[in-house]
Amino acid sequence: MIRVVVFGIKIQDETDLLMTHSYLEGFEGDFDVRISFGEADEVPDAKGRRLILKIKDLADYYFCDGKEIVINAAAGAKRSDIATVLYGTGLGTILHQRGITALHASAVATARGGIIFLGAQGSGKSTIAAGLSQKGCPILADDVCAISGELEIMPGFSRSKLTSESYLKCICDKLPEEMDLPAVGKYLAPKTEGADADKIFGVCLLEETDGLECVISPVHGTERLKILLENIYRPAVENLYIEPREKFEKYTEIASSARFFRILRPKGFENFDLLIEKLLLVLG
């Protein structure tokens, strides 16, 4: 059993699945969320306080009122595959059940505040965060980014999930002997020193371009709100717990409180080092 603080939530993990990801300190006293193996009531309630995620040949995940995750693993399922779902959808669902904003994003801490990176799958969110971490910007979140009511990025997991190409570019010139997350074809970056919760300074939308130039431009007006709404983590789950007006007000506050940028980056790693240096100048 391990006890860690993730996204500001005190988690008692009786499965030890979070161990490979977490750098965060333990705690004393009561926990907020318990994670365990076992069976649970399969009947969800009408208000979504009990949800079930069934993945054939892997596991059933039961989410109970934002306070518990019970995992009923299939025979022969790999722990690394079970953990992959837990890191993302599992904790993302708990965040929504607890009323905490969750974006599909990576984030780093800088001297000016927290920087969030949004974008489509494969746009480079984790890779750019890992590149910035090598320049002294601690990683606050990878894949799931939690934002408090005070508009602070709550520290999540500091280990970026990277493809082999990203690992070789950002971490070192030799891959680990074993892939950490084979289900998604990713390696975990080495553990790094964590960072405290950080006020949001900037939000960056990543887009790939066929060109060779790295372009960073500001985003204004209602486009900011549109970017946020398009990058909510598991939006269908969030909609179970929030009224439309409340949702609009919440994301409007974020949109009006941070600087927004659109980043056009060349595909692959063309001019990647230049992009990192540009980001440090503009955002760091």
- Residue 268: what pLDDT? 83
Strand partners for 261: 204, 218
145 and 279 fall within a common domain: yes
Calpha distance 29→270 (Å, rounded):
50
DSSP secondary structure, 70-101, as one string: EEEEPTT--HHHHHHHIIIIIHHHHHHHTT-E
Give per-residue burial for 221-252: e unless 16+ CB within 10 Å, then b.
eeebbebbeebbbbeebbeebeeeeebeebbe
CB 46 within 8 A of CB 37: no
The tens digit of pLDDT for each residue in 42-57 reads 666 656 688 999 999 9
Instruction: Say if residues 104 and 140 touch (Cβ distance below 8 Å).
Output: no
pLDDT at 110 over 70: yes
| Pairing, β 106-110 against β 139-141 | antiparallel
Average pLDDT along the chain:
91
Which residues partner with 114 through β-bridges?
A: 109, 200
179 and 90 part of one domain? no
Query: How many whole angstroms separate alpha carbon 252 and alpha carbon 246?
Result: 10
Instruction: Mark whether 248 and 162 lie in a shared domain.
Output: yes
Chain position carrying tokens 């693993």: 73
Domain boundary among 98, 133, 155: 98
Q: Which residue has the higher pLDDT, 18 or 262?
A: 262
CB atoms within 10 A of CB 97: 23
> Are residue 177 and residue 251 in the same domain, yes or no?
yes
> Among 48, 63, 98, which residue terminates a domain?
98
Region 258-283 average pLDDT: 91
Look at 5-19, 118-132, 182-196, 206-220 and tell me which has the smallest mean pLDDT: 182-196
Among 42, 73, 98, the domain-final residue is 98
Same domain? 53 vs 109:
no
Residues 6+ apart with CB under 8 A from 190: 159, 171
Task: List the structure tokens of 117.
Answer: 């990176």
pLDDT at 42: 67
Same domain for 92 and 127, yes or no, is no
Mean pLDDT, residues 106-112 taken together: 95
> Do 211 and 141 share a domain, yes or no?
yes
* pTM beyond 0.75: yes
Q: How confident is the model at residue 255 (pLDDT cuts 50, 70, 90)?
A: very high
The pLDDT assigned to 20 comes to 65
**Do 225 and 277 share a domain, yes or no?**
yes
Higher-confidence residue of 192 and 205: namely: 205
Query: Residue 267's pLDDT is what?
Result: 85
State the residue range of the domain holding 203.
103-283
What's the pLDDT at 163? 93
Structural domains counted in the chain: 2
Is the same domain home to 110 and 57? no
Task: Report the candidate in 42, 65, 37, 67 with the shortest Cα–Cα distance to residue 53.
Answer: 42
Q: Is 22 helix (H, G, I), strand (E, B) or coil?
A: coil
Q: Give pLDDT tens digits for 141-196.
A: 999 999 999 999 999 988 899 999 999 999 998 999 989 888 889 998 987 777 89
Q: Are residues 83 and 129 in the same domain?
A: no
Strands (E) across the chain are located at 2-6, 9-13, 33-37, 50-55, 59-64, 68-73, 101-104, 106-110, 113-119, 139-141, 144-147, 152-154, 161-162, 187-188, 198-209, 215-218, 259-266
Evaluate whether 12 touches 67 at the Cβ level (below 8 Å): no
